[in-house]
A and B are shown apart, each in its own frame.
Chain A
Amino acid sequence: MSKRFSTKAMQLAGALALLAGVATGAQAGGTLNAIVQPEPPILVLGLNGQAPTQYVASKIYEGLLTYSADLKPQPGLAESWSVSPDGLTYTFKLQKGVKWHDGQAFTSADVVFSADKFLRAVHARVRPILNKYVASITAPDDLTVTFTLKEPFAPFISLFGTDNILVIPKHLYDADNNYANNPANQHPIGTGPFMFDKWERGSSIVLVRNPNYWKAGLPKLDKIVFNVIPDSASRAVAFEKGDVQVLRGGDVDYVDIKRLEQMPGVQRTTKGTEMYSTITSLVMNERKPPFNNVKVRQAVMYALNRDFIVKNIFFGIGKVATGPISSTTQFYDPNVTQYKFDLKKAKALIAESGVDVSQTPIKILDYPYGSAWSRLAEYTRQSLQQLGFKVDIEATDAGGWAQRVGNFDFDLTFHFTDQFGDPAIGVSRLFLSSNIVKGSPFVNNEGYSNPTVDELFAKAAGATHEDERRQLYSQVQKILVDEVANGYLFENQNVTLYKDNVKNLISNGVGTNANFESVTVEP
């Protein structure tokens, strides 16, 4: 009798628990395990804009807009926006009822503070744009923000994601403009779907669900754990074992990608990087011989078999570039001079140039981001040797590389750069004469200077009609290709690997840098 009673009691208790679970709206919940590497130094965007910080902090912070796979702006913290016909006034209407993770209300004052004071002080890419183009930023009321420009700048609307103009809490940062040393940096507060929980340095960063997120019913996940695993092989093992469910581009070596994508239960995608459209380039120092001669540069382009590079050095993960603007961005123009692999033509060009390349030994500065790049340097060396160059390879680490390239202390090197959806943001910085400044890589380090190109870029940035911009960018592409301003090698593809039970991982143009609000992990 008592046995039957206790069984019934247990069944009843079980049923009640199930009901209780359903009543609280328990979605699948779950924890997503990912990898962040290298470990970011700090999680406050703006103070640091590197990829690891972006990956983690894009779940904590938000910008006014986000971007779809075809690079169209989507509502973020701004529920609607409008641009005046003359292209000078941008008005954003903000979402209602948004709260910061510490409970304070989000208002337009936060947006004005973030753009006008905070980002202007700390963000290297946004600051010059704000200083050059923005006349004023005002908040007519708590839910409206207006940006007034000095001159039209069509790409301005592409700058409102978390990697550019994001929003940070005024009530924590306005008191002291020593933003870098603000103790609030150790516990980032944003408006996003996930809140910062804890950071065990050297080990992991844990984010938890924001129960008061302004989008009802989101996020779906309970927790996201970013594991810090310093060794590439160990990261591959972690994924194989199932300790980690997502590997994004750069997490493991190309060799491992090929192996892991064959495993059962693994999905692969190259979507989600349309906003960035990264391109790999060979950078030649054009201030001194032999690369100050345009025929020599053209010869180099003919001597490099870029199909081979993509297929054999980068394991087929990439697409040969036809110019310095990626085919996945707007204003791409395929009608330019094609540099098909042709050693004879390359040698003929060297002869035509009149430069005796064997007299000026050159060094390739190895790009210290993995073994594929070392192979690329070795391949380039062999190719150039066939043209008569005397080539050596110099190794360095990331800090040394940044220093040397920033000080123009190199002959040849490689890098990959993001295009951020619009040539005015990600491409022109590599070719404008005004961007020949010492102190950092990823600017016009090769020293290319052409007043026509400068003019075309400036006009295209300011033009308001898409057709006009398209025409101007086509002209610029033709010139940059003919003069080989830099050696555009291939368009990077980032392969994201994830387990079958992870859903909705990549849903827009920023891919894994999106806020993961609708990602679910099925048990």
Chain B
Amino acid sequence: MNILFSAISKLAKALGVIFAVVVVNFFLIRLAPGDPASIMAGEAGASDPQYVARLREQFGLDQPLLVQLWSYIKGILHFDWGFSYRMKLPVLDLILDRLPATLLLMGAAFVFSIVLGILLGVLSAKTRYTGQRRWLDSVIVSAALVLYATPLFWLSLLAIILFSVVLGWLPAFGMQSVGVELTGWAHIKDVALHLILPTVSLGTFYMAMYVRLTRASLLEVMGMDFVKTARAKGVSASHVMRRHVLRNGLLPVVTFCGIQLGQMAGGAVLTETVFGWPGIGRLMFDALMQRDYQLLLGIFLVTSAMVVLFNLLTDLVYRLVDPRIEFEGGK
């Protein structure tokens, strides 16, 4: 009963956060100069105040702000997320069209960064601990520092030049080859090839973070008494690492996982821009430039929902990794 109650209260808080995000952003984006009508008029070279007024009327921009907010919220509750006047398509359709691409990229980058990050972090800590091949530790830490400090888009461009232009191994942009109809395995292979460079570019920064986090956390745990006891008993180093050290040292990593997923949910705009990846990050950027209010709010709604969801999941995972942590409100 307590768990149910705490689950419901978490959900209620989550919904509250999402609602607050939408309302605050509703007012915030109107602070930027220009509105969709003036942008469209500017593009058309229109010199017609009546035309602009008519556009405003059509977009519902001439009504008082609170009325607009209320009709927007009502729409959301009916699953009508609004209409993008610029692209002449419903917002929900536009977002659902681009969301899978972002989720694919996010998932791939997440797996890449976590697997490689923890692996290298463990390797680094282990060599430090056992005292053998300590140079490996130095190499890994330095590499992590360099990758952490290097700007993402520069790395991406260098990678494109090396692997795409010079070596010709990988495609330079996009999610799939255009102009050819591929199905089944050929299509999956095509997308996978296109996915490699963006994944590595997006995941590298986080991987470097994981290396450092894991290493530091593991080193701390490895200095504790129970580890010394286990080694004294004769348990092998790798057994100690797997069964005792790793589980205790993973909490900071889990925390960062939640943060990373939240950040990437915002739609890695830089990566999507450099690689021409058709995700919602790029969609959000374009919507902002064009002051496409409805589309922008829809995207904020989706991304804030994802961030909240990932935070909730992170809380759950905490509980799994360390049963000593109480689920909030569990008493």
Contact = CB atoms under 8 A, between A and B. Distances in A.
B257 to A, nearest CB: 27
Interface string B258-279: 0000000000000011111111
Contact of A206 (B48, B89, B178, B272): B178
B39 interface: yes
Nearest to A418: B45
Given A39-B286, A443-B47, A243 B33 contact: no
B164 interface: yes
A127 interface: yes
A186 to B, nearest CB: 7
A185 B289 CA distance: 23
Interface in A29-45: 31, 33, 38-39, 41-42
Given A49-B45, A241-B165, A399-B39, A439 B32 contact: no
B38 interface: yes
A202 B283 contact: yes
Contacts of A227: 173-174, 178, 276
Contacts of B22: none
Nearest to A197: B179
Interface string B34-73: 1100110111111111011000001000000000000000
B179 A206 contact: yes
Contacts of A38: 286
A475 interface: no
Given A203-B178, A237-B161, A229 B276 contact: yes
B44 A438 contact: no
Interface in B277-309: 277-279, 282-283, 286, 289-291
A440 B44 contact: yes
Interface in A166-204: 180-181, 185-186, 200-204
A378 to B, nearest CB: 22
A31 B272 CA distance: 26
Interface string A237-263: 110110100000000000000000000
A353 interface: no
A440 B42 CA distance: 5
A180 B88 contact: yes
A225 B177 CA distance: 11
A261 to B, nearest CB: 17
B208 interface: no
Nearest to A438: B49
B202 interface: no
B34 A403 contact: yes
A128 interface: yes
A501 B249 CA distance: 60
Given A234-B160, A439-B46, A202 B278 contact: yes
B216 interface: no
A240 B47 contact: no
B198 to A, nearest CB: 11
Contacts of B275: 234
A124 interface: yes
B45 A237 contact: no
B48 to A, nearest CB: 7
A50 B47 contact: no
Given A42-B88, A402-B39, A439-B52, A203 B175 contact: yes
A19 B47 CA distance: 59
Nearest to A399: B34
Nearest to B49: A439
Interface residues of A, number: 57
B87 A443 contact: no
A230 B87 contact: no
Contact of A403 (B38, B94, B174): B38
A38 B179 CA distance: 20
Nearest to B160: A237
A196 to B, nearest CB: 14
B101 interface: yes
Interface in A393-410: 396-400, 402-406
A435 interface: yes
B172 A234 contact: yes
A101 interface: no
A105 interface: no
Given A201-B98, A399-B33, A399-B291, A406 B41 contact: yes
Contacts of A472: none
Contact of A230 (B35, B165, B179, B276): B276
Contact of B46 (A124, A204, A228): A124
B173 A201 contact: no
Nearest to B89: A186
Best-surrounded residue of B85, B88, B273 (most CB of chain A within 10 A):
B88
A443 B51 CA distance: 15
B33 A396 contact: yes
Contact of B44 (A42, A48, A200): A48
A204 B273 CA distance: 14
Contact of A202 (B89, B171, B282): B282
A203 B278 contact: yes
A440 B172 contact: no
A279 B130 CA distance: 71
A356 interface: no
Contacts of B46: 124, 439-440
B38 A237 contact: no
Interface in B148-180: 157, 160-161, 164-165, 168, 171-176, 178-179
Contacts of B44: 48-49, 123-125, 440
Contacts of B42: 399, 402-403, 405-406, 440-442
Interface of B: 32-35, 38-39, 41-49, 51-52, 58, 85-89, 94, 97-98, 101, 157, 160-161, 164-165, 168, 171-176, 178-179, 272-279, 282-283, 286, 289-291
29 contacts: A39-B286, A41-B88, A42-B86, A49-B43, A180-B88, A186-B88, A200-B278, A203-B175, A204-B179, A227-B178, A229-B173, A230-B282, A231-B274, A233-B274, A234-B172, A237-B157, A237-B160, A237-B173, A399-B42, A399-B289, A399-B290, A402-B41, A403-B34, A403-B42, A439-B51, A440-B38, A440-B47, A441-B45, A443-B47
Given A124-B47, A186-B88, A234-B157, 8 more contacts: A33-B178, A48-B43, A49-B45, A127-B48, A202-B279, A229-B276, A237-B157, A403-B38
